[in-house]
Amino acid sequence: MQEFLMDYGLWLLVGLLVIIALVFLLGGRRKGDVPGESASVAATPPEAAPIATQAAAPLSATAIDPVATSALEPVATPEPAEAQQPIPASPSIAMPVSEGDNLLRMKGIGPKLNQLLTDLGVTSYAQIANWTDADIAAIDAKLGNFKGRPVRDQWVDQAKYLAAGDFAGFEAKYGKL
């Protein structure tokens, strides 16, 4: 017996582990989980017993008192709160532009921010290059999740290079376009 265990003991252990794994994997399946079994049998809930209902007694017409409509007072509508006045854009922001520049070339401006700037009327490098601190504050207040990006990414300085056509200077300072 000892010789048998020495020769085949490792194989017996591996076989036992395989059998345990198969029992674990196949034993956890429920009815309807096994392919080929009808899932409708497992999914059908047991039928409930019917509930007996009593017929409601009819209401008499004399039991209802009509409400006088003249007793109701008209409800006063509250005055609408004054809406916040939008911040007027300065002339350098709202400068009309015949054709827009590709603002995506600037570092820190992605597709979402480009769309937001376009919606705000900012479409050219020249507009951004002419921004003052007040203009930056006005735009920054409208950027939502992108607040602080114009200053952090130095948009005005980048736009000055790109508006002047100094691509070599831009690439030297901010990296490849």
The region, left, alpha or beta by phi > 0 then psi within -120 to 50, assigned to residue 49 is beta
Q: Say how far apart CA 166 and CA 157 lie, in whole Å.
A: 12
pLDDT for the residue numbered 169: 92
Tell me the pLDDT tens digit for each residue of 83-99: 555 555 544 444 444 46
N residues, the chain? 177
pLDDT for the residue numbered 91: 46
Provide DSSP, 58-100: PPPGGGPPPPPGGGPPPPPPPPPPPPPPPPPPPTTTS---SS-
Task: Report the greatest alpha carbon distance in the chain.
Answer: 108
pLDDT for the residue numbered 157: 94
Q: Cα 92 from chain centroid? A: 34
pTM above 0.85, yes or no: no
Take residue 35 and report the two structure tokens written for it.
Answer: 């392919």
Is the Cβ–Cβ distance between 113 and 105 less than 8 Å? no
pLDDT for the residue numbered 69: 56
- With a cut of 50, list the residues of the chain below it in pLDDT: 90-98
State the amino acid at position 58 in one-letter form.
Answer: P
Take residue 10 and report the two structure tokens written for it.
Answer: 């490792």
Q: pLDDT averaged over the chain?
A: 77
